[in-house]
Amino acid sequence: MSGASIPADIDLVRQAYPLIDVRAPVEFAQGALPGAVNLPLLNDDERHQVGLAYKKRGQAAAIKLGEKLVSGEVKAGRLAAWRSYLGRHPDALIYCFRGGLRSQIVQQWLAEAGSAPPRIEGGWKAMRQRLCGRVDAAVSQPMLVVSGLTGCAKTALINRLESGVDLEGFANHKGSAFGRMPEPPPPQVDFEHALARRLMSLSGPLTLEDESRQVGSVNIPLTFWQGMEKAPRIRVEMPLDWRLEQLQKDYIIDLERAHCARFGEEEGWQRMRQQLGNALLRLKKRLGSARLARLQRLQELAFAAHESGDRQAHEAWLAPLLTEYYDPMYRYHLKRHQEAGLRELHVGDWESCLGAAREWQAEHMPASG
């Protein structure tokens, strides 16, 4: 059983080749290659049965069972799905976990039906190794980290730069306990692959936001994060009123809009309210019971005013949350970095930091030609 194959190479992702992932849905859900569509050879239950047969009776028995499970109308339906996708994307490639039996079977069936796309040698595993290698290699590129108190619009600054790498965007999380979005977060694998994909387009400097290693439910790859921790910084300093306005946008206006877009007005409002309440509750250990109770009362009053059209009422609980919790925590973090001797290239307001970041970016761009 054989067919055309091509070597695993991150250029396949860079060039945005259409990809058919023939692994089972449960495997695909744990992480796939960027831009892949899941059109499996075996569904989850079939894969489980074939796996048991392989363990108990060996490969030949497993293949025989697979052919029995995926035959007749089932086989015809899967062939139709693959051929339909290939009809729309004739340059598509196929892959399975290691580029072995499953992708070869799909390739053979498609060849018998009149068309056989190439498969990726080594499959998902080989491609993942190369994508992770691109992330690790990025530590050799110049890095600049943008730091600042919560609400200083650091992510917006990052996204104004050609060299910007938006880790929170890849994590689908706005940072902090309150940054969870209504859309589910990506699996760790998909976060890493999205980061690798962005890094492929950046051969020169990288500008990133100051992050702890965990962003929402995912972790920044260790080697990459260690590179960030050693990088020089610029620090955004903005007054409390400006920061509160930014938090209103991020954690109230945008969050409400995102929830309502996904769940409808009524359910979206309730889910957004529940999310912010739960986020506050998760800080109980650090806030202490008395402070938590006070902030919860203020939050409830703010939601009541919000329902009457007054979104500004949220400042009553957001302001003490910043000044009593997030700001002291950040200043402790800043002190540690200063004691470690990390360089601060610039400290100033948002516009001056954007200018400083652009100057640094220009200085570190590779020479053309």
The token pair at 76 is 């015809």
* CB neighbourhood size of 247 (10 A): 23
Rounded to the nearest 5 degrees, what angle is found at the Cα of 350, between the Cα atoms of 177 and 279?
A: 10
Q: What is the distance between the alpha carbons of residues 306 and 300, in angstroms, rounded to a whole number?
A: 10
Contact 183, 262 (CB under 8 A): yes
Q: Which of 264, 256, 262 lies closest to 303, judged by CA?
A: 256
Tokens standing for 144?
A: 């600049």
Q: How many other C-beta atoms can be found within 10 angstroms of the C-beta atom of residue 54?
A: 16
User: Has 132 been annotated as catalytic?
Assistant: no
First to last CA, the chain: 47
Interacting residues of 62 by C-beta distance below 8 A, sequence separation 6+: 50, 51, 53, 54
For residue 16, report the phi and psi dihedrals to the nearest 5 degrees: 55, 45
Q: Which of 96, 132, 152, 353 is catalytic?
A: 96
Residues annotated as catalytic are 96
